């Protein structure tokens, strides 16, 4: 495990963007696993800035996002597809057809999960997976549970997560109750993982996830077993 301490959010974003940028420069055809949420916003901003300066080329990159809400259309501003377009894809030269987000509107969600898993396999797996971490230790939408869910699956979101995400919605009622997420195995099979955590409120869960027992009660704790994990954090 490679632990990198950053001095504040801007520094964290720059350090995380450096890791992603190095990946894309070394392998222009990289498969990037991407995340939404507040934490990666600065990382995407930094990558956009370097793209605009001509330092990074995303034209051969393919992306696969971790998760999506069920029942929200891609043009709904709360959807993760919309988030990715707004915060990243629309501002760099990644080809839209090479960006992948699970389809939360699929009629048959089971089939959508199988399709997404197969897509990742057909791409040859993820080269670098970017992850945030929830206060309860969730990664993607893999919530604390009695066992580790392996592949892409549909989850019932628990109240903590819905409340934490309510800040993006008008009311708590509008926060979807279900989501589709890559599973722990899908995430763990990524060749490299970059976990980012920002703010004093993430210190406790990072401590537990990285140095406590490995347990499905703290899904991120499984990352201790990953052979190439980089953690960039700032608790300021």
Residues in contact with ligand F6R by the rule CB under 6 A: 35-39, 66-67, 132-134, 138-140
CB of 178: closest distance to ligand F6R in angstroms? 15
Q: Are 207 and 233 spatial neighbours (Cβ–Cβ below 8 Å)? A: no
Three-class DSSP labels, 42-111? HHHHHHHHHHHCCCCCCCCCEEEECEEECCCCCCCCCCHHHHHHHHCHHHCCCCHHHEECCCCCCCCHHH
**C-alpha neighbours within 13 Å on the C-beta side of residue 103:** 14
138 belongs to the catalytic site? yes
- Of 57 and 76, the one with the shorter C-beta distance to ligand F6R is 76
From the candidates 68, 127, 143, 149, give the one annotated as an active-site residue: 143
CB of 34: closest distance to ligand F6R in angstroms? 8
217 belongs to the catalytic site? no
CB of 140: closest distance to ligand F6R in angstroms? 4
Please give the Cα distance from 164 to 81 (Å, whole number): 19
- Of 60 and 158, the one with the shorter C-beta distance to ligand F6R is 158
- Of 138 and 226, the one with the shorter C-beta distance to ligand F6R is 138
From the candidates 136, 145, 158, 217, give the one annotated as an active-site residue: 136
Chain position whose Cβ is nearest to ligand F6R: 132
From the candidates 87, 103, 127, 138, give the one annotated as an active-site residue: 138
236 belongs to the catalytic site? no
Residue 204: its H or E element: helix 203-211
136 belongs to the catalytic site? yes
- Of 26 and 218, the one with the shorter C-beta distance to ligand F6R is 218
Do the bridges between strand 178-181 and strand 67-69 make them parallel or antiparallel, or are there none, so unpaired? antiparallel
CB of 106: closest distance to ligand F6R in angstroms? 18
DSSP label at residue 151 = S
Three-point CA angle 3, 58, 141, nearest 5°: 50
Please give the Cα distance from 130 to 66 (Å, whole number): 9
Phi-psi region of 133 (alpha: psi -120 to 50; beta: other; left: phi over 0): beta
CB of 54: closest distance to ligand F6R in angstroms? 29
- Of 66 and 180, the one with the shorter C-beta distance to ligand F6R is 66
Catalytically active residues are 67, 136, 138, 143
């Amino acid at each position: 495990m490679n632990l990198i301490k950053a001095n504040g959010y801007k520094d964290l974003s720059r350090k995380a963007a450096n890791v992603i940028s190095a990946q894309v420069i070394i392998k222009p055809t990289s498969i990037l696993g991407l995340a939404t949420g507040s934490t990666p916003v600065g990382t995407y901003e930094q990558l956009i800035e370097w793209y605009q300066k001509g330092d990074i080329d995303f034209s051969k990159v393919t992306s696969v996002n971790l998760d999506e809400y069920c029942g929200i259309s891609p043009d709904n501003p709360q959807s993760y597809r919309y988030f990715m377009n707004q915060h990243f894809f629309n501002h760099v030269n990644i080809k839209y057809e090479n960006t992948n987000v699970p389809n939360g509107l699929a009629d048959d969600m089971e089939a959508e999960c199988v399709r997404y898993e197969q897509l990742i396999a057909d791409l040859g797996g993820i080269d670098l997976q970017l992850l945030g971490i929830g206060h309860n230790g969730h990664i993607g939408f893999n919530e604390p549970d009695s066992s580790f869910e392996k592949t892409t699956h549909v989850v019932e979101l628990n109240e903590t997560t819905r409340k934490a995400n309510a800040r993006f919605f008008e009311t708590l009622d509008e926060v979807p109750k279900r989501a589709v997420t890559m599973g722990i195995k899908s995430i763990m099979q990524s060749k490299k993982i970059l976990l980012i955590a920002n703010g004093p409120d993430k210190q406790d869960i990072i401590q537990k996830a990285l140095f406590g027992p490995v347990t499905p009660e703290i899904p991120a704790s499984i990352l201790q077993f990953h052979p190439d994990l980089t953690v960039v954090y700032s608790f300021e």
